[in-house]
Amino acid sequence: MKSAFTYERAGSPAEAVALLAKHGPDAMIWAGGTDMTLQWQQEKVSPTVCIDIRDISELDYIEIDNSGIRIGAMASLASLERSADRHHILTMLSDITKLMATPQTRTLATVGGNLCNASPAADLSPAFVALDATVKIFSALGARKVSMLDFFKGVNKTEVGPAELLEEVFIPLPDDGDVQASYKRIDRTVVDIALVNGSAAVTVGSDGVISKVGLGLGAVAPIILNAPDASAALEGLKLSDVTREKLAKVAAIAAKHAKPITDVRASAGYRQDMVEIMLRRSLEDSISKHGGTL
């Protein structure tokens, strides 16, 4: 961190976006700082103004009601990890956080910061896409909602504008029946970003019919992908009619959406093959959680 910078501290979302508007495009938000610190040290970013939002306690929450689960952008990964006993979807998200960084880092890292870093290999992002989550983005003009699928615009690029702030992630819960979800990944070490990952969320109505399927493919494109044609191949089926063979075919359809690259961590071919396996395992796990027999 060689460049000089001005430090500002915001006490509210309105104050944060006002400071962003005042200082222009070279100002950056500091939430947990775990990603930004590394990028700053590596000179990938060089902000002239650092706007600290750690005092905005109104964005630090995890709430559940009949409509869904709301996670404030300033909720730490450690808080999400500790929420496992509050809802079975939070249990799944808690398990994901345990794969992310170290326990010490998770006390600092925030859900919003992780999403705004927009890594194609992020762990939470595929699950949020599969769960059909939306985000709330705040600006001086008010709040707007964006689907998680549309939130990611490229590597380290999101829908959040230069004078906007991510406020909340909302995960809808079904009016009828229940949603079960699963996340799978392949990595090289325990503390590592995913080589490839995949997530599935399956909603089954009270009539035993699959009403909705969400998929999230990670580390196989610049953004997190879904696969609506693969989802459609399961929707409308009775849970009792689902077989391993059917899930394998659905995963194969979904994997065709992948656009992997070869880098120092894995080849494109490996990622192409493995995302299909991760999606199949996620689907099998989600079906099993519903009581399906495979």
Is 154 a member of any domain? yes
Please tell me whether residues 97 and 156 are part of one structural domain. yes
Please tell me whether residues 160 and 229 are part of one structural domain. no
Please tell me whether residues 69 and 162 are part of one structural domain. yes
Instruction: With beta carbons less than 8 A apart as the criterion, state whether 101 and 113 touch.
Output: no
Measured distance CA(231)–CA(6) in Å, rounded? 48
- Whichever domain contains 248, its CATH number is 3.30.390.50
What pLDDT sits at residue 70?
98
Average pLDDT over residues 184-195: 82
Please tell me whether residues 61 and 116 are part of one structural domain. yes
- Burial (Cβ within 10 Å: 0-12, 13-18, ≥19) of residue 25: exposed
Is 27 a member of any domain? yes
Please tell me whether residues 102 and 45 are part of one structural domain. no
Range of the domain at 119: 57-172
- Determine if residue 42 is left, alpha or beta; phi over 0 gives left, psi from -120 to 50 gives alpha, anything else beta: alpha
Instruction: With beta carbons less than 8 A apart as the criterion, state whether 74 and 169 touch.
Output: no
Measured distance CA(291)–CA(166) in Å, rounded? 36
For tokens 């196989």, what's the residue?
220
Average pLDDT over residues 245-262: 97
Please tell me whether residues 235 and 161 are part of one structural domain. no
- Whichever domain contains 30, its CATH number is 3.30.43.10
Q: pTM of this prediction?
A: 0.95
Is 1 a member of any domain? no
Measured distance CA(183)–CA(44) in Å, rounded? 30
* Count of structural domains, the chain: 3
Confidence of residue 220 (pLDDT cuts 50, 70, 90): very high
Please tell me whether residues 86 and 156 are part of one structural domain. yes
Work out the angle at residue 42's Cα, subtended by the Cα atoms of residues 40 and 45, and round it to the nearest 5 degrees. 40
Please tell me whether residues 62 and 129 are part of one structural domain. yes
What pLDDT sits at residue 265?
87
Q: Which of 119, 140, 172 is the last residue of a domain?
A: 172
What is the distance of C-alpha 222 from the center of its chain?
Answer: 14
Please tell me whether residues 45 and 69 are part of one structural domain. no
Please tell me whether residues 66 and 36 are part of one structural domain. no
- Whichever domain contains 153, its CATH number is 3.30.465.10
Average pLDDT over residues 190-207: 91
What pLDDT sits at residue 1?
44
Is 93 a member of any domain? yes
